[in-house]
Structure 1
Amino acid sequence: MIIATHSGKFHADDVWAVAVLELIFPGCTLIRTRDPELIRQADFAVDVGGIWDPQTGRFDHHQKGFAGARQSGVVYASAGLVWRTHGPRCVALIAEIHAGHAITEEQARDMAYAIDADLVQYLDMSDTGAAKNAPGGYGLSAVISGFNPTWLDEQHAGSVEAAEELRQTQFRRGMEFMTDILINAVKYRVGALHAADQVRNAELLENGRLLFLQNSAMPWATIVRNEMPNVLFVLSYSIAEQRYMLHTVPAAQDSFEARKDLPAVWAGLQDAELAAATGVPDAVFCHNGRFIAAARSFEGALQMARLALLD
């Protein structure tokens, strides 16, 4: 299969769109051109060609009269157009191949919608001018733009052909970077999906105020915050660090405010100082922000949890 997109400077929306198609249809030939005949012959035309027709693989948004937009009003660019059509299939493939779990069509659609809301729409907003560098000067759109060769690079290339070959190489580098971001976005959501039941069925201690999880890497905050109003702390084992972690529970999404903080006298202490303050010989550290602490043993972390509940 052949994917055609425009030559010259590339942007995050066309890089994302081509990366998605490459994941679904591996081994495609990528051509970067503005030649109408080459575009016509391609199986997919992304961000070029003046046509939006998913049935024929056409995903451009520059044509006069284009009015494609999300229900939220955010206008589509090529990233969103390709994602709207192929996002769920891409998510399902990544879930199976890279996360090792098959998901249902409904789950794939829900994840694709969430990724659009969290990420893809901002690529479109940047491309259409709705946001300068959504979401910020070092947001993904700006980072991908930085993969373009500079004028010095082009000057050193020595010819138009060499400069375009360099740009093709950089486009591919941008695709690899974008592919990693997409795969990680899906893997995180698949992990959260499969962690939910384990969090719901985890052991409750201290009259339901402490939740114990076998793996600290498991995402738990949303379930605990939304479904477990009595849980004040989460105790878990960090396989990577081989110690037990004591976490506060966020009071709201994207907030550092906790339902209950760790004791103020623990803030910023480590090892012997924290052991003296807590009476727990194997206490390791307490973050200065008082939202996480650690001990080397389960018994030590549990003792710290009990002290925190009493504080």
Structure 2
Amino acid sequence: MSEPVSKKLKLDSEMLRICTHSGSFHADESLAVYLLKSLKKYADAEVVRSRDPAQWEEADIVVDVSGKYDGEKFFDHHQREFDEVFSADYKTKLSSAGLVYKHFGKEIISEKLNLSLSDAKQALQIDLLYLKIYKDFVEALDANDNGINNYAADIKPNFHDKNITLPSIVSHLNPSWNTNPTDADYDRQFHKASALMGEVFMNLLDGYGNGWLPARTIVEDAFNARFDVDPSGKIMVLDQFCPWKEHLYCIEKEADKENEILYVLFGDSSGAWRISTVSLTSTSFQNRKALPEPWRGIRDDALSQLTGVPGCIFVHAAGFIGGAKTREAVIQLAKMSI
């Protein structure tokens, strides 16, 4: 006699179990477990913390313990022969956080931002976020857990910052050694650590998905329309202001057009328009081409008379930015500056 459907579904949900090791915990498995639990499939899964191989075998997925990695059930990185990295572009050996992110990151991004992996445009957006979050966040956790320094060991730090890093904050959530902690004490604190790591990750994903990604779209559209502004293709007009520098460098590189754009134009909060030069690098004070020297430090009507462009507001004395009252005016200034 077959089991009732409702009972079978209940039993299937009860079978889902995530296992990680018991005892003291670290940032990597704290995040790895949260990432799995963030997926619809594992949302109701039981988290078991154990070093008992029998518990590993009973679990549906095993994280940061077992000495095995197969990309399906076992996600440990402590075995001697382990040398997995995120991709050929990286040298940092993965931790349990990196392993889980590598295999489930795109699915997590898809679910949390309601982007479809089957839609070509949205799949490309997922890929961009997947790579950026690894580079900007997960890789550092992998490196920390595997004892990889970010700089040469002989460099003396100017100050100590270990107690303000996420791995150290998680470490301090472990029960104190002299309180005779039980497994239950460790488990309770582990869930706090996992929630902390998860909140940081999800805040980052939300910021990138709802801020960084839309900004890239605006910059990419402006870059593709650059020849509509001027035949030189060296002027870019943003339809809406957004953080644009990081995106411009990446888009130029992807298009094999590095150093293409000299001036970026955008509206400001007052309703006026700005003309900005483009820095040589994201951290450089030098730009690709400064605004003309005779304009620098000149304002308002005096600047309009000097340039012959009505509605000028200013050009900074350093020549890296200027302003005018209309879009047409800053376009004229940019064309003259080329």
Whether 1:13 aligns to 2:28 is yes
Shift in alpha-carbon separation, 1:16–1:150, aligned structure 2, 3 A: closer
Kindly state the Cα deviation for residue 247 of structure 1 after the two structures are TM-superposed.
Answer: 1.8
Give the one of 207, 213, 217 matched to 1:184: 207
Alignment check: 8 A CA contact 2:56 2:66 kept: yes
Shift in alpha-carbon separation, 1:224–1:113, aligned structure 2, 3 A: closer
The equivalent of 1:201 in structure 2 is 225
Give the one of 255, 260, 263 matched to 1:233: 263
Distance between the aligned counterparts of 2:137 and 2:168, measured in 1? 16
Whether 1:142 aligns to 2:165 is yes
Kindly state the Cα deviation for residue 289 of structure 1 after the two structures are TM-superposed.
Answer: 6.6
Kindly state the Cα deviation for residue 169 of structure 1 after the two structures are TM-superposed.
Answer: 1.9
Whether 1:34 aligns to 2:64 is no
Shift in alpha-carbon separation, 1:210–1:256, aligned structure 2, 3 A: same
Whether 1:3 aligns to 2:18 is yes
Percentage of pairs with the same residue: 23
Helix, strand or coil at the partner of 2:274: strand
Helix, strand or coil at the partner of 1:3: strand
Alignment check: 8 A CA contact 2:27 2:170 kept: no
Whether 1:46 aligns to 2:73 is no
The equivalent of 1:244 in structure 2 is 273
Distance between the aligned counterparts of 2:262 and 2:278, measured in 1? 6
Helix, strand or coil at the partner of 1:116: helix
Whether 1:75 aligns to 2:102 is no
Distance between the aligned counterparts of 1:52 and 1:44, measured in 2? 11
Kindly state the Cα deviation for residue 274 of structure 1 after the two structures are TM-superposed.
Answer: 4.7
Q: Which AA in structure 2 matches 1:298? A: R
Q: What is the correspondence of 1:79-158 to structure 2 with a 5 Å cutoff?
A: 79-97=97-115, 103=121, 105=123, 108-109=126-127, 111-113=129-131, 115-131=133-149, 142-149=165-172, 154=176
Whether 1:66 aligns to 2:91 is no
Distance between the aligned counterparts of 1:54 and 1:295, measured in 2? 57
Whether 1:221 aligns to 2:248 is yes
Kindly state the Cα deviation for residue 259 of structure 1 after the two structures are TM-superposed.
Answer: 1.2
The equivalent of 1:212 in structure 2 is 237
The equivalent of 2:313 in structure 1 is 283
TM-score, normalization by structure 2: 0.66
Shift in alpha-carbon separation, 1:283–1:130, aligned structure 2, 3 A: same
Helix, strand or coil at the partner of 2:114: helix
- Provide, for residues 55-106 of structure 1, a one-character-per-residue CA deviation record: whole Å limited to 9, x for no partner: 2x221111343333454443221122112222333343345359xx874656
> Which runs of 5 or more structure 2 residues have no equivalent in the other structure?
1-15, 305-309
Kindly state the Cα deviation for residue 108 of structure 1 after the two structures are TM-superposed.
Answer: 4.1
Shift in alpha-carbon separation, 1:95–1:266, aligned structure 2, 3 A: farther
Alignment check: 8 A CA contact 1:234 1:249 kept: yes
Distance between the aligned counterparts of 1:123 and 1:155, measured in 2? 24
Alignment check: 8 A CA contact 1:4 1:44 kept: yes
> Which runs of 5 or more structure 1 residues have no equivalent in the other structure?
none
Q: Which AA in structure 2 matches 1:259? A: R
Kindly state the Cα deviation for residue 118 of structure 1 after the two structures are TM-superposed.
Answer: 4.5
Distance between the aligned counterparts of 2:37 and 2:281, measured in 1? 38
The equivalent of 2:286 in structure 1 is 257
The equivalent of 1:174 in structure 2 is 197
Kindly state the Cα deviation for residue 178 of structure 1 after the two structures are TM-superposed.
Answer: 1.5
Alignment check: 8 A CA contact 1:283 1:301 kept: no
Helix, strand or coil at the partner of 1:247: strand
The equivalent of 2:13 in structure 1 is none
Helix, strand or coil at the partner of 2:43: coil
Kindly state the Cα deviation for residue 283 of structure 1 after the two structures are TM-superposed.
Answer: 3.1
Shift in alpha-carbon separation, 1:167–1:197, aligned structure 2, 3 A: same
Kindly state the Cα deviation for residue 159 of structure 1 after the two structures are TM-superposed.
Answer: 6.0
Distance between the aligned counterparts of 2:301 and 2:170, measured in 1? 52
The farther-off stretch of 80-89 and 294-303 is 294-303
Shift in alpha-carbon separation, 1:278–1:284, aligned structure 2, 3 A: closer
Helix, strand or coil at the partner of 2:140: helix
Helix, strand or coil at the partner of 2:62: strand
Alignment check: 8 A CA contact 1:214 1:236 kept: yes
Kindly report the root-mean-square deviation, in angstroms, between the aligned alpha carbons of the 2 structures.
4.4
TM-score, normalization by structure 1: 0.71
Alignment check: 8 A CA contact 2:218 2:240 kept: no
